[in-house]
Structure 1
């Protein structure tokens, strides 16, 4: 006798990944429920992408309107520019509410049952959920775990949410500290440095590695630092870790040399943002009941189809997506993974090409990339026996960028000259986050630089920067 289930699919976590999976599951005819312990929308909608972009949009306008030299070059004169911190914070909050309501309503409209509570895995097809009304057990033919992530706070840093805080707190913009230290120069640190500097704060950027922006392509990082850090008079400390961060007035930060481990400086600042990355939120999910061993610092082990793995074997009907898998901690990665799992559940197995997933930092100007950095590509080439080349094209020669008065930046294409395969594309400049999509789609489809060199780009547009780069790559032998 066939086993009966409460649902075809239950998803744990109503972030962008869980939401995307739920929408696709309904489209595929699956009876679906979603379990969420906190706010609908997860990190991205409530404490990440959405509110931070609203803050960046508002603070970016302030920066632009205060740049008398830039505006004057176009014949524009603006008087004194003022802003209201609370109104900017309210703008971000309003955008969050609209996005969260839209997400919730879309689930309701499609008939996805939303269960508010904390879910634990009781079996691969059974969940025990703690709700406000008490314990509840639900069964499903398939279960997707999408618990997301939380900010990583390094040992020695004490967070009080007021003077020492993470991005979770920073998106509410409760204050504008006269002098703020930001620990970490990844995309979170860079974006908040952009916001705070535009609104008049002094900033000290602290990075444990020897150079700022260590995860970015070195050429892009070098150019971006000139505009995003040096031109804004942002202080920097590299090669040092924050051994201790103590809240108060002032906040005290002990800086330890990364190599010698000795304290080399003590900073006293008004506030400190801890922007040292994120870790999976996988505690107390009941995974130990199935004998699943999490990978440090708590990632759920999965196979290529995102089935949860135990002792090297996929557990039938149990899947994981999003930040908790440790693949790429990006909202759109989680959404793509959710759709891929639903496809696999429905008998159309699909995997994700992570090398073709783009990412961006929404600074002013923006930074974006897809694929490998040049050092990583050259290492792969050395390991596998093929040559790697790169070309650059600059915004300063682009007609649209010149018209906008925004000519700072470049696009870099990394490719194989023997067959024209694109290995990575990195952009720093106006609207880089939008421009990268053409490169990402090309990499996903296996389009060569020679094919792209003959594709027609609208004139005059910023996308001609990439057009220029593709033509240079083709001229260097790409795909011949």
Structure 2
């Protein structure tokens, strides 16, 4: 989202509804990922139903007409004064995944909603992220032909963008005002200092999605989600790949055990080598017949360690928040490395640690979890609050996936994170595992290479984390993520029935293999009932003994 926006807050006032002027009760910054989409579309968290502005002769959803207590919030390209009437309950600035999820939820809640986008509709996910990258990963379907793969990715993004754009033609508005604001301006590729990007031989993921040529040898700086997925693409197209990773191991963000298995399957058998524990301190694009040069320095000593000469370099060192130009300094909000500080409810926090009234931030812009579906979930959570219902999103229940072949997925804590938490809080951690080699469906598809791992508390059955490497891991993880979100314990779900033969049985066997102590099988209410019943029994026995003693004493049998 490229629009320059400014924010200003004024004192509360009671403001009635109106139709003629272009103003709104709530403004939601969602540039970079939010959008309005047709019913026929569901992709990367984008919701299917059509919503937003409609023609005057069409039906529309309007919030109740009674006045609200509000703080006037201006979001504009230039000063336009303080509005006295509002046309919209919620204005969303940005048409990507985060804003889209919030917008549709707002309409479902009866809020009259408008959406504005300063760049292209669809944000990072549709245009430069999840959608085209997954299309590139379908290289096998395109016959390993570079142009066919590139065209497939471009056509898919163009088609979705066109669908979204057509549904937003009625939103030709560039200045709107409202009460509640959600900043959701997304992110851009992060490029470390010393790296010169020319968009041809030294590229970011944005450039790589165009797949303008297939280099014989490409260096990928960073071995996270982006780097791994592109290594899949380039090796499938015949390129040799060299990873450059600053930390001491590849895939540092993954559970170590899953990472080692993934390296054995995804890295070692392929034309991939790697350098770990080094920074790419300087990268110079190819020029005048000379190759791309990469200077590697030791991550600890900072001394020059090696120099690589390759045909191309992909910078996959993550993404940076796109928050410049929002005018946050006008309301005393200081970003942290570009990220907007928020609390657990996505309320923006100012430099004094106080909540800024009616201002929220979701998605990549706050840095809590830089995933499209996390942005959408945060947006929905904020709309719940705007509508007067408190809601706190559990980020440990949000899954993540890497779409390599086979896939990697995860939710919750890694084993080292869980053990660190256990040490601090004083509880025990156990691990259960199951192999895809024991799954009939995986064997039937010749995809027996895989592992599912469960990290849990044996004392109460709490699920701390689940990690999967194998066929359709990205789909399988949701049973675990939903269990965490709903607060289910292992003893609650281990009796669930799964169809046979299906890959879901991998999770079935995983939960069944966990060893939870017997006392943990009682839910708190059941445990309390059991204790009360035991107490009543003891009380009854004591009374019987007392009565017996009394009778024996009265008859002189005992004295």
Does residue 86 in structure 1 map to residue 98 in structure 2? no
Q: 2:343 matched to which residue of 1?
A: 303
Moved more, 170-179 or 5-14: 5-14
Out of 340, 351, 370, the residue aligned to residue 329 of structure 1 is 370
Does residue 8 in structure 1 map to residue 89 in structure 2? yes
Instruction: Give the Cα–Cα distance (whole angstroms) in 2 for the partners of residues 348 and 60 of structure 1.
Output: 47
Instruction: Give the Cα–Cα distance (whole angstroms) in 2 for the partners of residues 114 and 418 of structure 1.
Output: 58
Check whether the contact 2:460–2:516 (CA below 8 A) recurs between aligned residues.
no
Q: 2:236 matched to which residue of 1?
A: 198
Moved more, 434-443 or 457-466: 457-466
Deviation at 1:285, TM superposition (A): 1.0
Moved more, 266-275 or 336-345: 336-345
How do residues 94-109 of structure 1 correspond to structure 2 at under 5 angstroms?
A: 94-107=155-168
Q: 1:163 matched to which residue of 2?
A: 201
Instruction: Give the Cα–Cα distance (whole angstroms) in 2 for the partners of residues 479 and 234 of structure 1.
Output: 47
Check whether the contact 1:333–1:357 (CA below 8 A) recurs between aligned residues.
yes
Q: 1:146 matched to which residue of 2?
A: 184
Moved more, 187-196 or 19-28: 19-28
Check whether the contact 2:459–2:517 (CA below 8 A) recurs between aligned residues.
no
Out of 321, 341, 349, the residue aligned to residue 382 of structure 2 is 341
Instruction: Give the Cα–Cα distance (whole angstroms) in 2 for the partners of residues 386 and 233 of structure 1.
Output: 44
How do residues 29-108 of structure 1 correspond to structure 2 at under 5 angstroms?
A: 29-57=110-138, 59-61=139-141, 83-107=144-168
How do residues 333-372 of structure 1 correspond to structure 2 at under 5 angstroms?
A: 333-372=374-413
Q: Choose 1 or 2 for highest CA Rg.
A: 2
Q: Note the alpha carbon deviations across 1:31-57, whole angstroms, 9 max, x for none.
A: 222221111111000000000000102
Q: 2:69 matched to which residue of 1?
A: none
Check whether the contact 2:145–2:237 (CA below 8 A) recurs between aligned residues.
no
With normalisation by structure 2, the TM-score equals 0.76
Q: 1:125 matched to which residue of 2?
A: none
Instruction: Give the Cα–Cα distance (whole angstroms) in 1 for the partners of residues 458 and 499 of structure 2.
Output: 26
Does residue 289 in structure 1 map to residue 370 in structure 2? no
Q: Note the alpha carbon deviations across 1:326-350, whole angstroms, 9 max, x for none.
A: 1100000000111111110011121
Deviation at 1:153, TM superposition (A): 0.2
Instruction: Give the Cα–Cα distance (whole angstroms) in 2 for the partners of residues 472 and 107 of structure 1.
Output: 50
Deviation at 1:477, TM superposition (A): 6.6
1 or 2, which has the higher strand percentage?
1
User: For the aligned residues, what is the CA RMSD?
Assistant: 1.6
Q: 2:281 matched to which residue of 1?
A: 243
Q: Note the alpha carbon deviations across 1:160-209, whole angstroms, 9 max, x for none.
A: 00000000111111110000000000000000000000110000011000
- SS of structure 2 residue aligned to 1:158: coil
Check whether the contact 1:417–1:478 (CA below 8 A) recurs between aligned residues.
no
Q: 1:448 matched to which residue of 2?
A: 489
Deviation at 1:272, TM superposition (A): 0.2
Instruction: Give the Cα–Cα distance (whole angstroms) in 1 for the partners of residues 127 and 448 of structure 2.
Output: 34
Instruction: Give the Cα–Cα distance (whole angstroms) in 1 for the partners of residues 314 and 519 of structure 2.
Output: 44
How do residues 420-459 of structure 1 correspond to structure 2 at under 5 angstroms?
A: 420-459=461-500
With normalisation by structure 1, the TM-score equals 0.88
Q: 2:534 matched to which residue of 1?
A: none
Out of 283, 295, 300, the residue aligned to residue 259 of structure 1 is 300
